A and B are shown apart, each in its own frame.
Chain A
């Protein structure tokens, strides 16, 4: 009988129940999307980080001390404190050489432009061909380390095809000086001048937009620093840090012999840095925390936002449900009054109404789950460029949330129901 009544009510109030199901589906879909993305996003960001530029920078000891002292990030290096270019290849000879995916040297200098302004000019590798003592050959350079650069005009500089007297110009600088791809610009360095053909204009979204990137040797020539570097950026595949790695990062000498062995032979970022320092004279190699930290902060904020959206979505559907259910109870006041009059206990009428709503809610939640999973994929593809995994724990989580929200949303309706006086409805007053 109970089920006949529920079935009857569900089919008769199809429209209203559909609205309730829709409201719940909406809330559930948002909750599903947000929870799925949230649970998957940590992994996604880590993947993202791997493809996101360098994770180790190597600078001269003197520069490092100065930078740390004044807490200048990427500030000017001290005159005379350079790394040696001839040691560059050593990087690919360390124990973890195969974990080093890319690396590129940098040298920078100030140049003045014909328009009268000055700019920082960075010498580096673009797609540098390396033939290592180990027999390994590879192309490395900023083309791999600056994957986020957007080439607005022209194309990436090709060291072999384009030759030495070329450069790429940052979008902001190009705009300010009316420089376009294909132009030849004259730059005046401290020690020499050069006419450089602009191969491409890039938009980097950072300081590099104000700079000029050119092949190593031309910048060394302009600044008379042949054979020297100001920094090296290294992209390495690393193992996430654990306690041992943190301890070692502070001071490798504090480790026991076997701990040291373990650490040295694990691809922790700290042990890779340590090994790089061993092969580059007077250098300090340190992990790039900036990218990871800011990504981490963004991740936290994104998660907070998603939690807020989830809560708001659920509160919204809770309010929607409470309106709809109350309306449905009012509409059925005759029926409820009648049931009371013929001796139905309050709890049994409440049970009928709540069962209807929860059943409707579950139907809505199932639909919402799949729609939400779709949302999650859209978010995954548009934000992370990959699909979001289906996390099993989202199902019970959304289920519990939906039931709780539905029941909470039904409280006002249940109160109306309990307060309903059969004499009032039955005599048509």
Chain B
């Protein structure tokens, strides 16, 4: 069944159609890359799927619930319970250590558990950096903390907006390895990217242009 379904979704700013009548289905466990030139509506779509913004028109079904009709309060709850978010800029709380940053997400979800937070950092290979402040970590390391934080509550859907945009090749590969690991574990991934190499490793690539879906193709090389 599909975890996510967009039905004729539009987002209109004045007379600009940032998203123009988009319909899309993403199945549970799928790994989707979203590409497209700057201004084509990728981030707009991510915000809507990520329950941070509402469409001007259309329906967005997440797990069978139409999130376009929900109140801001229940959107916050859905975001907390079902979605993990990763951004291009590695947004961390800069006065908390790596492990504390992961725990913040647990705190708002349920209960902070330092052991579990450490395990999440271990998964992204940062167990030895747990007590460091963000300013003491490299960009790649910071992004891995963000990933650990996004994963800590076992989200059904992991949304990443340009997760490798600020990373060098080595760090990019580490992040992609983590993604492929998550995919194997059954997490649904939606990754926005400019980078064809990042899109290539995904199962399916959707290309946006002027707020419309221009191309939607399955990657034949997937898994190789």
Contact = CB atoms under 8 A, between A and B. Distances in A.
Given A342-B105, A344-B108, A427 B87 contact: yes
Contact of A339 (B100, B104, B112): B104
B93 interface: yes
Interface in A286-321: none
Contacts of A1: 100, 103-104, 106-107, 112
A422 interface: yes
B76 A2 contact: no
B7 interface: no
Given A334-B91, A348-B108, A8 B77 contact: no
A343 B76 CA distance: 5
A422 B52 contact: yes
Contacts of B50: 341
A253 interface: no
In this complex, the member of A341, A342, A428 whose beta carbon has the largest number of chain B beta carbons within 10 angstroms is A342
A346 B73 CA distance: 9
B121 to A, nearest CB: 16
A9 B53 contact: no
Interface residues of A, number: 27
B100 A4 contact: yes
B105 to A, nearest CB: 5
A87 B195 CA distance: 116
A4 B96 contact: yes
A2 B107 contact: yes
A342 B149 contact: yes
A177 B175 CA distance: 102
Contacts of A11: 95
A5 interface: yes
A114 B103 CA distance: 99
B53 A423 contact: yes
Given A4-B100, A422-B52, A342 B95 contact: no
A265 interface: no
Contacts, number: 78
Nearest to A10: B95
Contacts of B161: 427
Nearest to B82: A343
Interface in B51-91: 52-53, 73, 76-77, 79-81, 85, 87-89, 91
A342 B53 contact: no
Contact of A343 (B79, B89, B93, B112): B79
B91 A423 contact: no
Nearest to B47: A423
Contacts of B81: 343
A335 interface: yes
A428 B93 contact: no
A327 interface: no
A106 B73 CA distance: 86
A5 B108 contact: no
A337 B50 CA distance: 14
Interface in A7-56: 8-9, 11-12
Nearest to A8: B95
A338 interface: yes
Contact of A341 (B85, B100, B106, B107): B85
Nearest to A12: B95
Contact of A5 (B80, B92, B93, B105): B93
Contacts of A342: 79-80, 85, 104-105, 108, 149
Which of B80, B96, B103 gathers most chain A CB within 10 Å?
B96
A71 B77 CA distance: 81
B108 A341 contact: no
Contacts of A421: 52
A340 interface: yes
Given A423-B53, A427-B43, A341 B95 contact: no
A341 B96 contact: no
A345 interface: yes
Interface centre among A11, A427, A428 (most CB of B within 10 A): A427
A339 B103 CA distance: 12
Nearest to B152: A342
Given A343-B109, A345-B76, A428-B89, 10 more contacts: A11-B95, A334-B91, A339-B104, A341-B52, A342-B80, A343-B105, A343-B108, A348-B108, A423-B47, A427-B88
The 3 closest A-B pairs by CB, nearest first: A343-B80, A8-B95, A12-B95
9 contacts: A1-B104, A8-B96, A12-B95, A341-B50, A341-B79, A341-B85, A348-B108, A427-B88, A428-B89
